[in-house]
Chains A and B, each alone.
Chain A
Amino acid sequence: MRDEGGLTRLLTASFDDIATRWIDEQTAEGVGRADLIPVDETRAQSRELLSALLRAMEAGGGDGPMADVAFDEVRDVLARIAEARIDRGVTPTEMAWFMHSLKPALFATIRSGDAPIEAALDEVMMAGRVVDRMAIHAMDSYVEKRETVIERQRAEMNEVSAPVVKLWDRIVTVPLIGTLDSWRAQTVMENLLEAIVAREAEVAIIDITGVGTVDTMVAQHLLKTAAAVRLMGAECVICGVSPKIAQTVVHLGVDLPNVVTRIDLESGLDYAFRKIGLKVVERDRDRERQRALRRS
């Protein structure tokens, strides 16, 4: 529906009033977040958005879809506001209220005007719809941006949280920390197998000491990884199995036939050494000293 000019006139005539009222409303609702965003910045952004809205109304946007070319500038400004706020930790709810608090500001201005009741009601409805559309669009892009950030953080965490380390000649280990979802489990498996090839490892130790809970899904992933390691010709040891994990696994009925498990990394390493035919012996310091003396 095209704005019959009411909203355009309103914004032109009472721009400062509306802007001030809006900012006051934000503060009243407690969504100004002056702790995160300087008040000046909020004021400038609010005014910028209002200007863009005015121009959109002038271009005949009315209460049409936000994708309309009339709203190009509005969308730009909204995107910038959203980005600035996400980075500083403003919640989606606060962002939504930031937008919606524009309504009381517009309604109050319409009310204090001298338009006849029917025209005033039309203007109120129009204003309501326009703000709703902007708020929904703001929320959509807000959520989208947040998901991008989360995804990036997840990728970064994935990089550092499961590094495959060469513990010894022919022995590699990977410490698993935190939760293990399907995607991460596959990445860990890939990295471990690539490392086995690169390091020519004969034993791979998977340390699950840092894994919070071992449910059926985690157990299945561990099983698959162990099977893949064995297929490639290496041994697999899963260490860090606590009594609680042992209990969970048995109660879940998960079958762990050919999987070697140990309580901690130390026993896992002990097993690995034996598999590759090595033994740790204590140095004979007396003999070393005597040899050193004889040489000097």
Chain B
Amino acid sequence: MAEPIGAAIVTIDGCVTVAVRDDLDDQAVLRLQDRLMEEVARRSAKGVIIDISGLEVVDTFAGRMLGAMAEMSRLLDARTIVVGMRPAVAMTLVDLGMTLDEVETALNADKAMALIADEPGLRSHRR
């Protein structure tokens, strides 16, 4: 059994959701990635919703991990949507030069689920 990641993964309506905590270190993030993908495969989920409203800091490593998760779930035929990005985090990511083009975002879990329900399995045409 893998080490606990300290975050609850809940699957609702075919969407695997998790709220990321601020005190995760790099290894915990990688473990979270593993657990999420396991769950996606197990549930044949159509979506992954990652709530980062608890994150005060998203650096290039975390940004790349989010992109990796999006790509992994895409390969598993699920759509990843990141929600709850704080304004300060958005502004900081822009200064870092991270556009996270490969990652879909929405304001909150409700909007994310609506997006996934509308076009299950398809990428957003927004980008």
Contacts and interface: CB of A to CB of B under 8 A. Distances in A.
B39 to A, nearest CB: 23
Interface residues on A, range: 20 to 34
B42 interface: no
Interface stretch (B1-9, B12-20, B26-34, B82-90): B82-90
B126 A231 contact: no
B49 to A, nearest CB: 12
B105 interface: yes
A148 to B, nearest CB: 28
A23 B35 CA distance: 85
A36 B91 CA distance: 47
B93 to A, nearest CB: 6
Contacts of B104: 233
Given A200-B108, A202-B107, A232 B94 contact: no
Residue among A190, A224, A227, A235 with max Cβ neighbours from chain B (10 Å): A227
Interface string A229-271: 1111111000000000000000000000010000000000000
Interface stretch (A57-65, A75-83, A84-92, A191-199): A191-199
Given A194-B87, A224-B94, A231 B107 contact: no
Contact of B91 (A197, A228, A258): A228
Most buried by A among B104, B126, B127: B126
B94 A197 contact: no
Contact of B87 (A200, A201, A230, A232): A232
Contacts of A224: 91, 94-95
Contacts of B105: 230-233
Contact of A196 (B83, B91, B99, B107): B107
Contacts of A197: 87, 107
Interface string A3-28: 00000000000000000000000000
Interface in A171-205: 186, 189-190, 193-194, 196-197, 200-202
Contact of A232 (B99, B107, B126, B127): B107
A233 B106 contact: yes
25 contacts: A194-B87, A196-B87, A196-B107, A197-B87, A197-B107, A200-B107, A200-B111, A202-B107, A224-B91, A224-B94, A227-B99, A228-B87, A228-B93, A228-B94, A231-B85, A231-B93, A231-B94, A231-B99, A232-B85, A232-B87, A232-B107, A233-B81, A233-B83, A233-B85, A233-B105
